[in-house]
Amino acid sequence: MATSVNAIRTSTVKRRALNRDKVEAAILREAVRLFAAGGYEGTSIATVAERAGLSKQNLLYYFPTKEALYRRVLDGVLDDWLARMASLADARKEPADVLRAYVRAKLKFSREQPLASRVYALEVIGGAKVYGEQIRQRVIPLLRADIAVFERWIADGRIAPVNATHLLFAVWAMTQSYADFAAQMTLVLGREQLAQDDFDDAERLVTAMVLAAVGLP
């Protein structure tokens, strides 16, 4: 019967698709780890494959080239980050609320996804040789929109007149550094790794600095 054959075929296709998802997820999980530590050139697909529990050749069945794998990792990083930050800055909301939430969200990302942050940082610092165009298209417009919101508030006299662009750079730098430079921070603090307390301390200080900078209590 046609239906029965179709049912079997469909379920096989589905099972295969599910398995593909699982294998890809395992590969990507290990790839983030390794790219975060070694960058693009410092990571070999053989090591990624080994950690993910398959052969190098088999990994190349799922991701045809090393660059394709790297791009997929960075896609995941940006998807997560942009989803968290989207529509946080809104000129109609209270400046103090938005700034507080913004700092909190960025620090949360640094705490929960330090590897993602580091992969992105290594790419940007190295000159964004592979992912530059995506950054241009997906990140820059968002940053510009945030800056425009700050400038709207300044024009309306709701916050003190500061350089909105550099204010955003400052927020970005301070929050991101808790993922990117965690290795150095733990040495200064004499800890194995950063703890929630450290992020709470960071949030208090960064929030206070940002609010003070724009003349809010």
Does position 105 interact with a second copy (CB under 8 A)? The reply is no
d(CA 104, CA 204): 9
Secondary structure letter of residue 190 according to DSSP: T
Q: Which of 17, 46, 82, 125 binds a second copy (CB under 8 A)?
A: 125
Site residues for a second copy, 134-153, by CB under 8 A, read 135-136, 139-140, 143-144, 147
Does position 161 interact with a second copy (CB under 8 A)? The reply is no
Q: Backbone phi, then psi, for 155, in 5-degree steps?
A: -60, -35
Does position 65 interact with DNA (CB under 7 A)? The reply is yes
Determine how many CB atoms are found less than 10 A away from the CB of residue 175.
Answer: 25
d(CA 164, CA 183): 30
d(CA 119, CA 168): 21
Q: By C-beta, is 64 or 141 nearer to DNA?
A: 64
The region of 65-73, 83-91, 92-100, 133-141 touching a second copy under the rule CB under 8 A is 133-141
Q: How far is Cα of residue 22 from the mean position of the Cα atoms in its chain?
A: 22
Total site size for DNA, rule CB under 7 A? 22
Q: By C-beta, is 74 or 107 nearer to DNA?
A: 74
3-state secondary structure of 127: coil
Binding mask 32-71 for a second copy (x = CB under 8 A): -----xxxxxx-----------------------------
- Length of the chain in terms of residues written: 217
**Closest to 81 measured CA to CA, from 44, 54, 116, 122:** 116
Determine how many CB atoms are found less than 10 A away from the CB of residue 166.
Answer: 12
> What is the contact surface with DNA in residues (CB under 7 A)?
16-17, 19-20, 23, 43-47, 54-58, 60-62, 64-67
Binding site for a second copy (CB under 8 A): 37-42, 118, 121-122, 124-129, 132, 135-136, 139-140, 143-144, 147, 162-163, 165-170, 172-174, 176-178, 180-181, 183-185, 187-189, 201-202, 204-206, 208-210, 212-213
